[in-house]
């Protein structure tokens, strides 16, 4: 059994919890539906956002250079990282040069992707995530299960236990307001007196050289405002051309993500405050390779709203950790195979190709069609289960020949009709573990039609 299926099966064992997870995410999907219903031009906005991102991907080199020039002119130090290793080294280098040992970090899936925190800790830097959800999973020493709601897999009681252990809250406390208040005090201690603050980037504006960070808690901003060194890490695809384009993306991002009209904070960082440093690290890490794949390049349009996860009926019932990737769910299943097809060969198959992800996507990425294309790539690369491939190979041969098709169909129905139940529902019959097979009629439609037309 593939990795996703195995982990999903384990997740589903606890049916009550699976139902709760499904309902929690469906609630967010419903909020998204309500929020988008209030925007009469919603579909036009999606079209615009998609068009701008397509344009950016077609002219990425020019926009990146323009962005970098403008940022440097603003007094920002710009760094380029080819891969995760270079990215981590650059960040460590900045911290070492400024004698920073206490880093606060917020809202960056890219640093998750690069494994930055572990690298920094190994090199003697203390790293504290200040986004509440991110802090929770950092204390639990586990990866996020969602890109916008990193701790969505946890119940408030579990957070209560965690805070009791690490933050000293009373045992049994599970009231969200009180837990959040405890987290607030805990995080303030780290935010005040930090040496450097790192954030992700939602949008990088080529025209102005500024970066935009969208958050609800404001802790990312608080870190940036209190630290003498601010670092913003971004993938090369975060570019938008002009400041005026930002309005379109701000309007679709939060509505798609959580059903809010906009995030509570939309922070624009253009230049360092007097006496401080501002760094931007621009990271490739496999993105130009993805840009070079015609079938998959537009996956880079993604603005990380997470709507495809909330809507995905498989994600909701298997949990983010079942994907084994930094970005889980439908979008992760088309992005991650580009990094390592062999390791993630199961992910394009963790879908029914229902297409809900593509319809919910605010930048109109054809996610389910790319899943289909990745499946072809997996089989072509010889990474699919050989038994499955042989079966389908044989099916292809039979279904191309009417006579073979009729004989095989007839034999299969005969066998299903006459074989004893224990033989049909054997342990290799995966369909039959929790489902009945369809009834096997004596006559196929074609048999009936032939008889009728002879008579």
Partner 1 sequence: MRVALFIPCYIDQFYPQVGRATLALLERLGCEVVYPLGQTCCGQPMANAGCERDALQTYHHFVKTFSDFPYIVSPSGSCVYHVRQHYDVIDQTAVVQAIRARTLELSEFLIDVLGIQAIPGARYPHRVGIHASCHGLRGLRLGPSSELRGSQPPSGIHRLLEQVADIEIVTLDRSDECCGFGGTFAVSEASVSVKMGADRLADHLRNGVEVVTASDMSCLMHLEGIIRRRNYPLRVAHYAEILNTTGV
Smallest gap, in angstroms, from Cβ of residue 234 to partner 1? 28
Looking at the Cβ atoms of 99 and 445, the one nearer to partner 1 is 445
Spatial neighbors of 283 by CB under 8 A, at least 6 apart, are: 81, 83, 84, 87, 110, 114, 233, 234, 235, 236
Looking at the Cβ atoms of 82 and 388, the one nearer to partner 1 is 388
Looking at the Cβ atoms of 12 and 173, the one nearer to partner 1 is 12
On whether the CB atoms of residues 69 and 209 are closer than 8 A, the answer is yes
Looking at the Cβ atoms of 244 and 393, the one nearer to partner 1 is 393
Q: Quick one: tokens of 419?
A: 């074989």
Looking at the Cβ atoms of 175 and 448, the one nearer to partner 1 is 448
Give the C-alpha separation, 408 to 402, whole Å: 10
3-state secondary structure the chain: CCHHHHHHHHHHCCHHHHHHHHHHHHHHHHHHHHHHHCCCCHHHHHHHHHHHHHHHHHCHHHHHHHHHHHHHHCCCEEEEECCHHHHHHHHHHHHHHCCCCEEEEECCHHHHHHCHHHHHHHCCCEEEECCHHHHHHHHCCCCCCCCCCCCCCCCHHHHHHHHHHHCCCCCCCCCHHHHHHHHHHHHHHHHCCCCEEEECCCEEECCCCEEEEEECCCHHHHHHHHCCEEEEEEEHHHEECCHHHHHHHHHHHHHHHHCCCCCCEEEEECCCCCCCEEEEEEECCCHHHHHCCCCCHHHHHCCCCCHHHHHCHHHHHHCHHHHCCCCCHHHHHHHHHHCCCCCCCCHHHCCCCCCHHHHHCCCCCCHHHHHHHHHHHHHHCCCCCHHHHHHHHHHHHHHCCHHHHHHHHHHHHHHHHHCCHHHHCCCCCCHHHCCCCCCCCCCCHHHHHHHHHHC
Smallest gap, in angstroms, from Cβ of residue 50 to partner 1? 14
Smallest gap, in angstroms, from Cβ of residue 154 to partner 1? 20
Looking at the Cβ atoms of 62 and 393, the one nearer to partner 1 is 393
Smallest gap, in angstroms, from Cβ of residue 137 to partner 1? 23
Smallest gap, in angstroms, from Cβ of residue 119 to partner 1? 34
Looking at the Cβ atoms of 54 and 295, the one nearer to partner 1 is 295
Looking at the Cβ atoms of 200 and 332, the one nearer to partner 1 is 332
Smallest gap, in angstroms, from Cβ of residue 67 to partner 1? 32
Smallest gap, in angstroms, from Cβ of residue 249 to partner 1? 17
Smallest gap, in angstroms, from Cβ of residue 108 to partner 1? 28
Give phi and psi for 266, each to the nearest 5: -125, 100
Looking at the Cβ atoms of 99 and 430, the one nearer to partner 1 is 430
Looking at the Cβ atoms of 272 and 432, the one nearer to partner 1 is 432
Q: Quick one: tokens of 318?
A: 């298997």
Smallest gap, in angstroms, from Cβ of residue 421 to partner 1? 12
Smallest gap, in angstroms, from Cβ of residue 44 to partner 1? 9
């Amino acid at each position: 059994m593939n990795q996703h299926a195995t982990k999903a099966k384990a997740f589903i064992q606890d049916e009550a919890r699976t139902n709760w997870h499904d309902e929690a995410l469906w609630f967010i999907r419903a909020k998204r539906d309500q929020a988008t219903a209030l925007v009469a031009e919603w579909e036009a906005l999606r079209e615009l956002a998609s068009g701008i991102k397509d344009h950016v991907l077609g002219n990425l080199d020019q926009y990146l250079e323009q962005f970098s020039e403008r940022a440097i002119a603003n007094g920002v130090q710009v760094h380029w990282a080819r891969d995760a290793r270079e990215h981590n080294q650059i960040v460590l280098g900045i911290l070492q040069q400024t004698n920073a040992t206490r880093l606060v970090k917020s809202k960056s899936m890219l640093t998750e992707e690069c494994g930055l925190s572990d690298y920094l800790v190994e090199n003697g830097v203390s790293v504290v995530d200040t986004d509440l959800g991110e802090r929770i999973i950092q204390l639990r020493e586990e990866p996020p299960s969602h890109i916008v709601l990193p701790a969505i897999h946890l119940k408030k009681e579990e957070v209560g236990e965690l805070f009791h252990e690490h933050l000293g809250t009373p045992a049994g406390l599970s009231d969200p307001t009180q837990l959040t208040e405890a987290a607030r005090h805990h995080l303030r201690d780290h935010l005040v007196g930090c040496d450097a603050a790192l954030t992700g980037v939602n949008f990088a504006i080529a025209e102005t050289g500024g970066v935009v960070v969208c958050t609800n808690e404001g802790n990312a901003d608080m870190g940036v405002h209190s630290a003498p060194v601010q670092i913003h890490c971004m993938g090369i695809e975060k570019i938008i051309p002009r400041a005026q384009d930002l309005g379109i993306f701000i309007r679709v991002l939060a509505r798609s993500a959580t059903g809010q009209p906009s995030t509570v904070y939309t922070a624009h960082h253009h230049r360092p405050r007097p006496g401080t440093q501002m760094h931007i690290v621009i990271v490739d890490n496999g993105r130009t390779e993805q840009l070079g794949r015609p079938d998959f390049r537009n996956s880079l349009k993604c603005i990380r709203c997470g709507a495809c996860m909330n809507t995905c009926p498989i994600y909701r019932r298997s949990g983010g950790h079942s994907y084994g990737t930094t970005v889980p769910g439908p979008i992760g299943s088309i992005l991650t195979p580009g990094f390592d097809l062999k390791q993630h060969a199961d992910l394009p198959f963790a879908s029914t190709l229902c297409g809900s992800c593509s319809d919910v996507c605010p930048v109109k990425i054809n996610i389910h069609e790319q899943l289909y294309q990745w499946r072809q790539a997996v089989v072509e690369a010889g990474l699919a289960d050989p038994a499955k491939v042989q079966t389908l190979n044989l099916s292809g041969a039979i279904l191309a020949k009417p006579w073979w098709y009729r004989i095989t169909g007839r034999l299969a129905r005969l066998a299903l009709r006459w074989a004893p139940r224990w033989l049909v529902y054997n342990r290799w019959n995966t369909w039959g573990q929790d489902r009945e097979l369809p009834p096997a009629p004596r006559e196929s439609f074609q048999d009936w039609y032939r008889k009728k037309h002879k008579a």
